[in-house]
Homo-oligomer: A and B are copies of this chain.
Amino acid sequence: MSSADLKKVGLKVTLPRLKVLEILEQEGEEHHLTAEDVYKILIEQGEEVGLATVYRVLTQFEQAGIVRRLNFENNISVFELDTGDNHDHLVCVKTGRVKEFVDPIIEERIKEIAKEKGYELSAHSLVIYGTLKDDLK
């Protein structure tokens, strides 16, 4: 993910955009960040950005298909790089930690259900909430 990718989707290569991308890449699979999280990291790194810019950049990335926006229970959005594998999420209700998974059986059933009911499938969102047993103490 680099400046070339930004150009490809018609976005100018600017510092805020590169930095946001960088952060999302570093955080990797285990982290799913709030716009505010991204903003705080930027500030910690000494960058001068506004929270509004972070929101704008993330929204643009979402529209460009670079980023996925997820809405968990609490009605707050978290963002992750869109790796194209279309995975789902498992959220620990105790720690908030997020794990990703892909399940072909569910994937398949979702397609069938859409078909059965006469819908042209466009997307789905599956979140499993539970307590990671190690976290039960």
Q: Which residues of A contact B (CB under 8 A)?
A: 71, 73, 75-77, 90, 92-93, 99, 101, 103, 105-106, 109-110, 113-114, 117-134, 136
A128 surroundings in chain B (CB, below 8 A): 110, 113-114, 119, 121, 123-124
A109 to B103: give the CA distance in the assembly, Å.
8
A76 surroundings in chain B (CB, below 8 A): 75
Q: When the two chains form their complex, are residues B113 and A120 in contact, meaning their CB atoms are under 8 A apart? A: no
Q: Interface residues of A: mostly helix, strand, loop or mixed?
A: strand
Of the residues B73, B99, B114, B133, contact of A125 by C-beta under 8 Å: B73
A71 to B51: give the CA distance in the assembly, Å.
24
Chain B nearest CB: distance from A123 CB in Å?
4
Q: When the two chains form their complex, are residues B122 and A131 in contact, meaning their CB atoms are under 8 A apart? A: yes
A118 surroundings in chain B (CB, below 8 A): 132-134
A114-B127 in contact given A75-B75, A119-B133 (Cβ < 8 Å):
no
A122 surroundings in chain B (CB, below 8 A): 93, 129-131
